[in-house]
Amino acid sequence: MSESLDARSAAGWRTAAAAVAVMAPLALGEAKAQQSVLEGVWMTVSQSELTIAPCPEGYCGHISRIVVPEHIIAQYGSDVVAMESSFTDALNKDPALRNRPIMGLRILTLRPGRQAHIFDGEIYNPEDGNTYSGYVEVLGPDVLKLNGCILYNIICRGEEWVRIVEQ
């Protein structure tokens, strides 16, 4: 009887080990997919592009393409478009940072929020030189909503970004 118990016990362990071997990669794949939903290149409302990638703080977004917004062209004239590759962070509140280039500038720092589809963080707006608290909400695999907030996250303004799919 002990021999058949040992055989059943060993068979049970082999079955459990096989199930773990099959399920573990699936679970890890799902976790990786969930973690990487933010990664990629995103088009903003102004048609500029932001690249989001993992960083030590969680996820960071850097400007990867500049499209000059219409209100900036209206304010400074159409000659400003020719200068877009040499734009600097001229409106930064810290004078020491005003000469850094806008291209490649990190404007988004995110970390997982309390809900799986929300990422909390800080948003730097080079158009006014201010940093805001905010969050990104994942609306779908190819749509994010960026929300910048003031007054302890009571007043928020958002815009949707669309993933740029590699071809």
In this structure, the answer to whether residues 11 and 74 fall within a common structural domain is no
In this structure, the answer to whether residues 46 and 126 fall within a common structural domain is yes
Please give the average per-residue pLDDT across 20-27, as a whole number: 36
**Cα(41)–Cα(157) distance, integer angstroms:** 21
What is the signed CA dihedral for 89, 95, 97, 98, rounded to 10 degrees? Answer: 20
In this structure, the answer to whether residues 82 and 64 fall within a common structural domain is yes
Pick the closest to residue 46 from 127, 130, 138 (CA basis): 127
Domain that holds residue 54: 39-163
pLDDT greater than 70 at residue 8 = no
The count of domains in the chain is 2
In this structure, the answer to whether residues 124 and 135 fall within a common structural domain is yes
In this structure, the answer to whether residues 55 and 77 fall within a common structural domain is yes
In this structure, the answer to whether residues 26 and 78 fall within a common structural domain is no
In this structure, the answer to whether residues 3 and 56 fall within a common structural domain is no
In this structure, the answer to whether residues 1 and 23 fall within a common structural domain is yes
pLDDT, greater one: 75 or 164: 164
Tell whether pTM > 0.95. Answer: no
% of the chain residues with pLDDT over 70:
75
Amino acid at 110: L
Name the average pLDDT for the chain: 80
In this structure, the answer to whether residues 49 and 31 fall within a common structural domain is no
In this structure, the answer to whether residues 32 and 104 fall within a common structural domain is no
97-144 per-position pLDDT tens digit: 999 999 999 999 999 999 999 999 999 999 899 999 999 999 999 999
Q: What angle do CA 17, 22, 24 make, to 5 degrees?
A: 90
Residue 134 has a pLDDT of: 93
CATH number, domain at 130?
2.40.128.520
Ramachandran region of residue 95, left (φ > 0), alpha (ψ -120 to 50) or beta?
A: alpha
In this structure, the answer to whether residues 14 and 56 fall within a common structural domain is no
38-48 per-position pLDDT tens digit: 999 999 998 99
pLDDT greater than 80 at residue 81 = no
Q: Which range among 24-28, 29-33, 51-55, 146-150 has the greatest average pLDDT? A: 51-55
In this structure, the answer to whether residues 1 and 58 fall within a common structural domain is no
pLDDT greater than 60 at residue 19 = no
